[in-house]
Amino acid sequence: MRQYNFSAGPSELPLEVLKEIQEELLSYKNNGFSIMEISHRSSYYEQMQNDAIKDAKELYGINDDYEVIFVQGGATMQFSLLAMNFSLDNKPCEYIDTDVWTQKACEEAILAGVNAKIVASSKDSKYNYIPKIALNNDSSYTYICSNNTVHGTQYKQLPISNSPLIVDASSDFFSKKLDFSNIGVLYGGVQKNAGIAGFACLIIRKDLLERSKNKTMPKMFNYNTYADNNSLFNTPPTFAIYVYAKIMKWIKAKGGLDAINQENEIKAKYLYDIIDNSNFYKAYVNNDDRSVMNVCFTTGNDELDLEFWSKAAKEHNMLGLKGHKKLGGLRASIYNSASLEKVKILGEYMKEYERVRG
């Protein structure tokens, strides 16, 4: 039996997609080989990757002003590469701090030798909200993390900024439509909402690529290398890109990002309502800034939290409900692939646990 998987990432893949992959593992499109056994220069592979890029653009409704590239090293690798590629001389790189992922990004930018600094933070309140500021700035870029996986905070609207936004969307990638008017780069590791671990996908406004066109740096650090070579300068992580391509098609078949978002909102509301209507559970995050992807909550008692997630795993086949070590408590990650049915099974368990222990 498959588990009810609530892991924060890598996370559950849609069953239909897994089955399709299983079927194609021995023979991709009846050709007698799998996609990971052939050249990335072959027409089979290139067609698949080109479709993935086309589908990604179609889902977000963006045109050829944007480049979609695939870069190995995960989201963490991009923390320094983004700074190296997009920092401008004499203009600081500004970061809005919502804890771990933005802090690491800022630290890595500094290590990469750029002038990076935090300009707003929700540290004062243990990161239980999203700082809301209008940035009248003259910076290289403004950097945010659209969904903080650890705390379960999420921007409902992207901030207003004079400089292009760089958005780490690792944990809410392809979960809803976005207003791209101020987005310079939308990127993320794809192992939560858009595939499996192995690379980061970056959607880059083309004019920004000019910033690093003539910078001196190793070729594999320069995003122009990926843009100029259709992410095929060297051998890409072909299997991971193939899974990503499948997920793009799966989202399209579900009706696209508006339909996915509608379902995501329903799933999250279902869990937050249980939390808010109980005197036993408590959500960590302010009402307005709660993540639709990672629902973080606690019983307020470490021992009960521990019992909650271990009992869920042992007796109810529910995986991954332990909160991130930094925050503790409990976390249900309900990405695109989580069905409402699965979320309701968790909801019933929560109610039952409260009845017994509350």
Check binding of 74 to ligand PMP (CB under 6 A).
yes
Residue of 55, 172, 192, 322 with catalytic role: 192
Question: Is 75 a residue that touches ligand PMP (CB under 6 A)?
Answer: yes
Residue 241 beta carbon to ligand PMP: minimum distance, rounded to whole angstroms = 15
Does residue 189 bind ligand PMP (CB under 6 A)?
Answer: yes
Residues whose CB is less than 8 angstroms from the CB of residue 273 and which lie 6 or more positions away in sequence, other chains included: none
The full 3-state SS of 48-99, as one line of letters, equals: HHHHHHHHHHHHHCCCCCEEEEEECCHHHHHHHHHHHHHCECCECEEEEECC
| Structure-token pair, residue 319 | 């995986």
Q: What does 167-186 look like in DSSP terms, one character per residue? A: EE-TTTTTSS---GGGEEEE
Does position 130 interact with ligand PMP (CB under 6 A)? The reply is no
Comparing CB distances to ligand PMP, the nearer of 163 and 193 is 193
Of 227-286, binders to ligand PMP (CB under 6 A) are none
Pick from 9, 131, 320, 329 the residue near ligand PMP by CB under 6 A. 9
Rounded CA separation 39/155 (Å): 40
How far is Cα 37 from Cα 287, in angstroms, rounded to an integer?
48
Q: Which stretch binds ligand PMP (CB under 6 A): 49-57, 74-82, 258-266, 333-341?
A: 74-82
Element counts in the chain: helices (H) and strands (E): 10, 14
Residues in the interface with ligand PMP (CB under 6 A) total: 11
Q: Which stretch binds ligand PMP (CB under 6 A): 126-134, 163-171, 224-232, 329-337?
A: 163-171
By the rule CB under 6 A, 168 interacts with ligand PMP:
yes
Per the annotation, the verdict on 101 as an active-site residue is yes
Per rule CB under 6 A, is residue 323 in the interface with ligand PMP? no
Residue among 113, 73, 93 at smallest CA distance from 185: 93
Q: Which is nearer to ligand PMP, 172 or 349 (CB)?
A: 172
273 is catalytic: no
192 is catalytic: yes
**DSSP per position, 300-347:** S-HHHHHHHHHHHHHHH-EE--BPPTTT-SEEEE--TT--HHHHHHHH
Residues 6+ apart with CB under 8 A from 263: 254, 340
Residue 333 touching ligand PMP (CB under 6 A): no
Catalytically active residues are 101, 168, 192
Where along the sequence are the contacts to ligand PMP (CB under 6 A)? 9, 74-76, 101, 145, 149, 168, 170-171, 189
